């Protein structure tokens, strides 16, 4: 994927993005061993799957003590295209409605699974 993005950046002449994509392409490709430990360089780009997984783990650990108190935790991400400021209120209402539908479906699915077992 990153090589395809590199091609697009080259076509557009965007050298800043090309550098970012190269950093991601080589993310953790050189591992150095010193004093019994391994060291490498992370690119820290948002589109790097490795760096994103590390960032996600850090965020989960940050909230883990709170999440552990929940009875049935689920991780849900809702994404939409950005909208104009005058449509923001409507968009938030629609997202909350969507989240309610997801929650109700989840409750129904869990109930059906419990009834089957």
Q: Cα(first)–Cα(last) distance of the chain, in Å?
A: 42
Tell which positions 17-36 bind Zn ion, by CB under 5 A: 27
C-alpha closest to that of 23 among 53, 57, 48: 48
Helix, strand, coil percentages (3-state) for the chain, rounded to 5, are 60, 5, 30
Q: Can you tell me which of 5, 6, 22, 50 binds Zn ion, judged by CB under 5 A?
A: 50
Q: Which stretch binds Zn ion (CB under 5 A): 1-9, 43-51, 55-63, 109-117?
A: 43-51
2 binds Zn ion (CB under 5 A): no
Q: Which is nearer to Zn ion, 9 or 51 (CB)?
A: 51
- 8 Å CB contact between 42 and 27: yes
Provide the minimum distance between the beta carbon of 49 and Zn ion in the complex, in angstroms, as a whole number.
8
Choice between 40 and 98, CB closer to Zn ion? 40
Rounded to whole angstroms, the Cα distance separating 21 from 11 reads 14
Closer to Zn ion by CB, 29 or 77: give it.
29
Where do contacts with Zn ion occur on this chain (CB under 5 A)?
A: 27, 42-43, 48, 50-51
């Amino acid at each position: 994927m990153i090589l395809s993005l590199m091609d697009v950046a080259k076509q557009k002449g965007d050298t800043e993005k090309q550098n970012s994509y190269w950093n991601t392409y080589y993310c953790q490709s050189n591992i150095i061993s010193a004093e019994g430990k391994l060291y490498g360089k992370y690119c820290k780009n948002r589109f790097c799957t490795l760096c994103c997984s590390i960032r996600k783990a850090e965020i989960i650990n940050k909230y883990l003590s709170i999440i552990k108190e929940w009875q049935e935790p689920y991780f849900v991400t809702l994404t939409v295209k950005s909208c104009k400021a005058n449509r923001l209120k409507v968009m938030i209402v629609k997202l909350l409605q969507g989240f309610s539908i997801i929650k109700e479906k989840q409750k129904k699915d869990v109930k059906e699974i419990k009834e089957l077992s």
